[in-house]
């Protein structure tokens, strides 16, 4: 009796566990569906130029994708965000390395780094346009400025994360600075750097959009600005969806790169 | 070969690890250092390796003062200190790589020696603590160093692996005529391996006794049952009290 009782319990637990797992899997979907249902119900109460429903937005998204409008503007914005991200990363590596190695450099740089996080981008971006003209380079700078902070913080803690014993191993073997960086510090810091990049990926889109809002005749920021002026709310929302999709694509790209790089280092690039 | 003279080392937090310690490691000899936990054995090895400079005293290697690490000296750390993102093989090959030397079969030889052929492509996270120690040992041996410093190389091994690995390390070092300073917790191991056993006092570490092991140069574990062996073990034990 007791035994079967117990196995019944285990069965019940297993079933409960399976239901839980299913729920857990479905949760994101449930959330999204609920969001769209609420949106749809709300949109029934307003005219479309105030709040178009999800179906109208989807339709606009599809027609404006097939006629090439959205792809063009996405390409322009991504073409600013990605190089801006690269520029910010390069600057973060250049400043993070000395900061991780010398207390003097750290103390020299860190007030500026911390201040860079507090910079109100929307107020500084116009200044950048005044100083550097309102061309492509200024837009990259705006992107770089916004991605700089999360990356530099991660680069510095990543480089500092190397256990002292591993540094001793490299010292014992007379490793050069370059070898120590490429074979010890960089691989140890990579997970940190990628964590910073993932945050920075979405930020770089915000940077690019900010630049376009201020001055441009192409790009998602320009499109949103223009459509807002025309009360084409459906297009505004379609452009926002495009922005989110692009940010997610950048995120996924960084993830993919991370997996490839981590697998590469794990395979023992040394042997 | 290695002369440590009147060395005192105090850590920045005020812990005095070594006090006026004088020790000589003779060429082609195996010197074992034993002592209670925390008496400064690892500190002594780090100083001998040139990773740390003592507050007082001098260290010379072949009559030249030691100011920093050199490639003639190899140190195996108490914790294995492997690169987590490199395979067993890549970890063992690291010293050759960093010195831009070609691998002429040493790496495979070392992998076989420590019995890790099956795990050559495993990552450190996929092997046991004892295996990791064996990798660290192989890495320390691969450059054929003139002076080999071993910090509890057999700590995390089971009795049988420990015996067989001790035996192979002993044979390699004897064959190569290597000079070895070895830290161990096991008195039997110290007596089995060494030509001389140095006993340190509890912290701060000083030399309490230096005992010459007058056993034959070629040894096997059967020796452990002999009365001579037991007598030397007893002598070391007494010195540690
Ligand atoms: N980096 C350090 N900073 C401060 N104190 C330290 C440091 N390293 C070691 N010590 C102290 O110095 C003393 C000697 O340490 P050491 O590691 O040399 O001992 P040990 O003999 O190797 O011990 P064990 O047998 O447990 O490995 C200890 O009391 C320890 O607390
Ligand atoms: Mg120790």
Task: Give DSSP secondary structure letters for chain B.
Answer: -EEEEEEEEE-TTS-EEEEEEEEEE-TT-EEEEE--TTSSHHHHHHHHHTSS--SEEEEEETTEEP-S--TTEEEE-SS----TTS-HHHHHHHHHHHTT---SSHHHHHHHHTT-GGGTT--GGGS-HHHHHHHHHHHHHTT--SEEEEESTTTTS-HHHHHHHHHHHHHHHHHHT-EEEEE-S-HHHHHHH-SEEEEEPSSSB-EEEEEE----SS--GGGGGSHHHHHHHHHHHHHH-
Contact A172 B69 (CB under 8 A): yes
CATH 2.60.40.10 fits A54-270, yes or no: no
Cβ contact A81:A146 at 8 Å:
no
**Mean pLDDT value of segment A193-201:** 92
Q: What pLDDT was estimated at residue B79?
A: 85
pLDDT tens digit string along B44-74?
999 999 999 888 888 998 888 888 888 889 9
What is the 8-class DSSP label of residue A270? T
Contact A174 B81 (CB under 8 A): no
The answer, for B231 touching chain A at a CB cutoff of 8 Å, is no
pLDDT, position A2: 52
A172, A174, A268: residue with CB nearest B86: A268
Q: Is the pLDDT of residue A269 over 50?
A: no
Question: For residue B16, how far is its CA from the centre of ligand 1 (angstroms)?
Answer: 9
- What residues form DSSP beta bridges with B60? B3, B65
In this prediction, residues A190-218 reach a mean pLDDT of 91
How many whole angstroms separate alpha carbon B223 and alpha carbon B219? Answer: 7
Average pLDDT of chain B?
88
Task: State if residue B40 touches ligand 1 by the CB under 6 angstroms criterion.
Answer: yes
Identity of the residue in A166, A175, A270 whose CB atom sits nearest the CB atom of B90: A270
B36 CA → ligand 2 middle, Å: 10
> Is A15's pLDDT higher than 50?
yes
Cross-chain Cβ contact B98/A173 below 8 Å: yes
Strand pairing category for B2-10 and B56-61: antiparallel
Report CB contact under 8 Å: B81, A168.
Answer: yes
Q: At what angle do helices A54-66 and A69-101 cross, to 10 degrees?
A: 90
Residues A7-34 have a mean pLDDT of 83
Q: Which of B51, B83, B87 sits opposite A171 (nearest CB)?
A: B51
Structure tokens, A226 = 């223009």
Closest CA–CA distance from residue A90 to any residue of chain B (Å): 24
Residues B43/B18, Cβ–Cβ less than 8 Å = yes
pLDDT for the residue numbered A271? 38
- Can you tell me the distance from the alpha carbon of A128 to that of A47, in angstroms, rounded to the nearest whole number? 40
Cross-strand pairs, B200: B207
Find out whether the peptide bond into B204 is cis, omega within 30 degrees of 0. yes
B38 lines ligand 1 (CB under 6 A): yes
Give the side-chain half-sphere CA count within 13 A for A33.
Answer: 5
Task: Return the pLDDT at B38.
Answer: 87
- What is the rounded CA–CA span in Å between residue A183 and residue B3? 34
Among B14, B39, B149, which is best to mutate for testing ligand 1, by the most ligand atoms less than 8 A from CB? B39
Domain boundaries, chain B: 2-72+147-240, 80-144
User: What residues of chain A lie within 8 A of the CB of B81, using their CB?
Assistant: 163, 165-166, 168-169
Angle of helix A103-118 versus helix A136-160 axis, rounded to 10: 130
- Token digits for A9? 């319990």
Burial B35-59 (b: 16+ CB within 10 A, else e): beeebbbbbbbbbbbbbeebeebeb
* 8 Å CB contact of B73 and A172: yes
Q: Is B78 in the pocket of ligand 1 (CB under 6 A)?
A: yes
Q: CATH code for B2-72+147-240?
A: 3.40.50.300
Rounded distance from Cα B42 to ligand 2 centre (Å): 4
CA angle B40, B45, B49 (to 5 degrees): 145
pLDDT digits (tens, 9 = 90+) for A32-84: 999 999 999 999 999 988 999 999 999 999 999 999 999 999 999 999 999 99
Q: Give the mean pLDDT of A237-264.
A: 91
Distance CA A90, CA A84 (A): 10
* CB-based contact B55:B10 (threshold 8 Å): yes
Average pLDDT over residues B84-92: 93
Measured in angstroms, the CA of A30 and the nearest CA of chain B are apart by 38
Query: What is the predicted pLDDT for the residue at A169?
Result: 93
The CB-side HSE value for A134 (13 A sphere, CA atoms) comes to 13
Using N-to-C axis directions, what is the helix angle for A233-266 and A54-66, rounded to 10°? Answer: 70
Read off the pTM. 0.80
- Domain ranges for chain A: 1-45, 54-270
Please give the pLDDT value at position B153: 84
Sign of CA dihedral B119, B122, B126, B127: positive
The average pLDDT across B88-112 equals 92
Judge if the beta carbon of residue B179 lies within 6 A of ligand 1: no
Q: Could you read off the pLDDT of A89-147 as tens digits, one per residue?
A: 999 999 999 988 888 988 888 888 888 778 888 888 899 999 998 789 999 999 999 99
> Tens digit of pLDDT for each residue in B146-200?
899 999 888 777 888 888 878 877 777 777 778 999 998 889 889 988 999 999 9
CA distance A192 to A181: 15
| Per-residue pLDDT, A42 | 94
Each residue of A82-104: b (16+ CB within 10 Å) or e? bbbbebbbebbbebbbebbbeee
Chain A interface disruption, residue of B45, B46, B67, B98, most A CBs within 10 A = B98
Neighbouring residues of B180: CB distance < 8 A, sequence distance ≥ 6: B29, B30, B31, B147, B148, B149, B150, B173, B193
Q: How far apart are CA B223 and CA B239, in angstroms?
A: 22
The rounded distance, in Å, linking the Cα atoms of A166 and A177 is 14
Tell me which of A140-149, B27-36, B140-149, B214-223 is least confident.
B214-223
Q: Do A265 and B90 touch (CB under 8 A)?
A: no
Q: Which pLDDT score is estimated for A270?
A: 41
**Which range among A31-35, A185-189, B236-240 shows the weakest confidence by mean pLDDT?**
B236-240
Whether residue B97 lies within 8 A of chain A, CB to CB, comes out as yes
Q: What residue's CA is closest to ligand 1, atom 24?
A: B37
CB contact under 8 A, B49 and A268: no
Of all protein residues, the one whose alpha carbon is nearest to atom 16 of ligand 1 is B40
Residue with tokens 């109460």: A45
Half-sphere exposure of B87 (CA within 13 A, CB side): 19
Q: Is the pLDDT of residue B39 over 50?
A: yes
Mutation choice for ligand 1 from B8, B11, B12, B186, CB with most ligand atoms inside 8 A: B11
- Classified as helix, coil or strand, A267 is coil
Which residues in chain B touch residue A168, judged by CB atoms under 8 angstroms apart? 46, 51, 75, 77, 81
Which residue among B32, B43, B48 has the greatest number of ligand 1 atoms within 8 angstroms of its CB, and so is best to mutate?
B43
C-beta B52 within 6 A of ligand 1: no
Of the two residues A4 and B200, the one the predictor is more confident about is: B200
DSSP assignment, residue A82? H
pLDDT at A52 (0 to 100): 93
């Amino acid at each position: 009796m007791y035994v079967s009782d117990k196995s019944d319990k285990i069965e019940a637990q297993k079933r409960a566990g399976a239901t839980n797992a299913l729920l857990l899997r479905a949760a994101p979907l449930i959330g999204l569906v609920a969001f769209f249902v609420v949106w749809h119900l709300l949109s029934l109460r307003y005219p479309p130029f105030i709040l178009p429903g999800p179906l109208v937005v989807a339709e606009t998204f599809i027609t404006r994708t097939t006629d090439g409008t959205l792809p063009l503007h996405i390409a322009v914005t991504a073409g600013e965000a990605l190089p801006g991200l690269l520029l910010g990363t390069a600057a973060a590596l250049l400043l993070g390395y000395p900061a991780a190695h010398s207390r003097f450099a750290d103390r020299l740089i860190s007030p500026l780094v911390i201040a860079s996080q507090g910079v109100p981008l929307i107020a500084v971006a116009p200044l950048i346009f005044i100083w550097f003209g309102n061309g492509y380079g200024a837009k990259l700078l705006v992107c770089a400025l916004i991605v700089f902070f999360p990356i530099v913080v991660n680069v510095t803690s990543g480089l500092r994360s190397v256990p002292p014993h591993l540094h001793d191993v490299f010292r014992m073997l007379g490793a050069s600075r370059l070898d120590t960086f490429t074979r010890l510090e960089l691989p140890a810091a990579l997970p940190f750097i990628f964590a910073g990049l993932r945050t920075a990926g979405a930020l770089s889109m915000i940077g690019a959009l900010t630049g376009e809002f201020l001055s441009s005749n192409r790009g998602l920021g320009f499109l949103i600005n223009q459509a807002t002026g025309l009360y084409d709310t459906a297009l505004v929302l379609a452009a926002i969806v495009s922005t989110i999709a692009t940010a997610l694509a950048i995120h996924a790209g960084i993830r993919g790169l991370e997996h490839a790089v981590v697998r590469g280092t794990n395979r023992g690039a040394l042997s | 070969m290695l002369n440590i003279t009147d060395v005192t080392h105090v850590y920045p937090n005020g812990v005095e690890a070594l006090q006026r310690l004088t020790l000589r490691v003779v060429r082609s000899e195996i010197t074992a250092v034993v002592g209670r936990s925390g008496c400064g054995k690892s500190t002594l090895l780090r100083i001998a390796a040139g990773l740390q400079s003592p507050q007082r005293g001098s260290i010379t290697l072949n009559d030249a003062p030691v100011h920093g690490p050199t490639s003639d000296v190899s140190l195996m750390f108490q914790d294995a200190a492997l690169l987590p993102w490199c395979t067993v093989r890549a970890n063992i090959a690291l010293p050759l790589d960093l010195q831009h030397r070609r691998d002429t079969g040493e790496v495979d030889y070392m992998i076989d020696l420590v019995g890790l052929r099956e795990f050559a492509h495993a990552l450190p996270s996929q092997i046991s603590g004892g295996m990791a120690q064996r990798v660290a040992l192989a890495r320390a041996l691969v450059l054929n160093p003139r002076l080999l410093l071993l910090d509890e190389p057999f700590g995390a091994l089971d009795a049988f692996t420990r015996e067989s690995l001790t035996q192979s390390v002993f044979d390699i070092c004897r064959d190569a005529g290597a000079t070895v300073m070895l830290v161990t917790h096991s008195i039997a191991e110290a007596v089995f391996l060494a030509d001389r056993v140095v006993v340190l006092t509890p912290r701060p570490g000083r030399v309490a006794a230096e005992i010459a092991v007058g056993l034959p140069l070629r040894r096997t574990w059967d020796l452990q049952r002999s009365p001579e062996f037991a007598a030397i073990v007893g002598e070391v034990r007494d010195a540690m009290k």
